[in-house]
Structure 1
């Protein structure tokens, strides 16, 4: 691992450790099945082992790491079953989230979505894929927050952690075989459509847009990771979600 100091003085030490370790996992600097080197993290951040352990148990609760008795913390693997479960759950929960958000979102949250989508256009052009992944995640988490439903937010927040890692995995593959520019344009267009539908309070159309948006992401994952699999073909879309 690279020796680069990174201090975030305004945050609790456990939060600093959480953000750092999560970034290492999302960007695959610590890959699936790899052990998290607690000693290295402690040295890198100049903090003790207790806040690092707190961060790791938090990541364990989010299903990003697992505890192996007598050995330590390891990054969870991504399996075929994981992906099937993730996309089935994502399709259901994202549809529920936008249906609620369309009726509950606040003006300042819509402004935040507009700003983030504008920033996304720029980082796509710069091919700054870590920032693309982080900004996209922030966009969706604002929608989750706008549901004003703590249980739904918790489930979707956990799901977003998993999808962040998948998104970045796709970016480190050979991109020449996939029209990433078209993908970016479609993704940003979906975001803009959602923003306009939220302004109108149109939950039915918002559900249709997010359904296609999830499938767009799934097609990208299939292309880079599972070329012979079409997970969502086995998922029956929910019809007419009403809140």
Structure 2
């Protein structure tokens, strides 16, 4: 059973990560007292924890704010993920079994359905699930959990990408479908290239996403 501090932390953390609390938005403990129905002490402790995790920051005589998305940190996390995930997909191209392929196919079908219906949060959740399953099928679930521990900026960026109506939602499921097809064929070189290209989408689209939501970002490097 959750204690009150964990309840407050999980509530605020989820609202930051799903962008219900937007980057740069001011927040207060009193607002969360009303929303969560707990006292100020566990909320303040939860907010202190979120400040240590750099998801909140405080300014003297101004208040507490949701930290903006640090594009450089997002790019660094994307780099680590690309190195690891291409290694995982190479391993799976030889070892993946029929049941695992069936599960990936089902995720892709569901992802395309919700993307066509413009169900944004579900599209993002299924995108995450597709990649998480790859780590689990390769017995690297701990690696996935470790990656999440420093991917807050990257994951908020990825959700914003889903929210950008100028970028096609079905592109993600289409690329996942090609990855599954290459896994089914046990084509190691092709699936590795497809995964590399898929994870490099951020490098191609980041300028457009940052331009559409400029108030949400900081430390945006110039694009070469």
TM-score (norm 1): 0.66
**CA apart distance, 1:185:** 3.7
Indicate yes or no: 2:183 matched with 1:192.
no
Indicate yes or no: 2:214 matched with 1:224.
no
Counterparts of 2:104 and 2:163 in 1: how far apart (Å)? 26
Find the residue that maps to 2:69 and give its secondary structure. Answer: coil
Indicate yes or no: 2:113 matched with 1:128.
no
- Residue of structure 1 equivalent to 2:216: none
Report if the CA contact (8 A) 1:144-1:156 is conserved.
no
Structure 2 counterparts to residues 72-91 of structure 1, below 5 A: 75-91=66-82
Distance change (3 Å), C-alpha of 1:124 and 1:73? same
Find the residue that maps to 1:127 and give its secondary structure. Answer: coil
Distance change (3 Å), C-alpha of 1:200 and 1:128? same
**CA apart distance, 1:70:** 9.5
Counterparts of 2:7 and 2:145 in 1: how far apart (Å)? 21
Among candidates 22, 25, 28, match of residue 31 of structure 1: 22
Unpaired segments of 5 or more residues in structure 2? 213-219
Counterparts of 1:33 and 1:15 in 2: how far apart (Å)? 23
**CA apart distance, 1:209:** 0.7
- Residue of structure 2 equivalent to 1:168: 159
Cα-Cα RMSD: 3.8
- Residue of structure 2 equivalent to 1:213: 198
- Residue of structure 2 equivalent to 1:137: 128
Report if the CA contact (8 A) 1:101-1:198 is conserved.
yes
Q: Deviations over 1:21-75 (max 9, x none)?
A: 3432133232224455444445433456649956974x678x5625669999753
**CA apart distance, 1:78:** 2.0
Indicate yes or no: 2:89 matched with 1:98.
yes
- Residue of structure 1 equivalent to 2:101: 110
Report if the CA contact (8 A) 1:56-1:73 is conserved.
no
Report if the CA contact (8 A) 1:198-1:206 is conserved.
yes
Counterparts of 1:46 and 1:106 in 2: how far apart (Å)? 47
- Residue of structure 2 equivalent to 1:21: 12
Distance change (3 Å), C-alpha of 1:191 and 1:40? same
Distance change (3 Å), C-alpha of 1:196 and 1:161? farther
Aligned residues: 214
Distance change (3 Å), C-alpha of 1:170 and 1:190? closer
Q: Deviations over 1:62-113 (max 9, x none)?
A: x562566999975333234224323332322321232234345454443332
Higher relative contact order (CA 8 A, sep 6+): 2
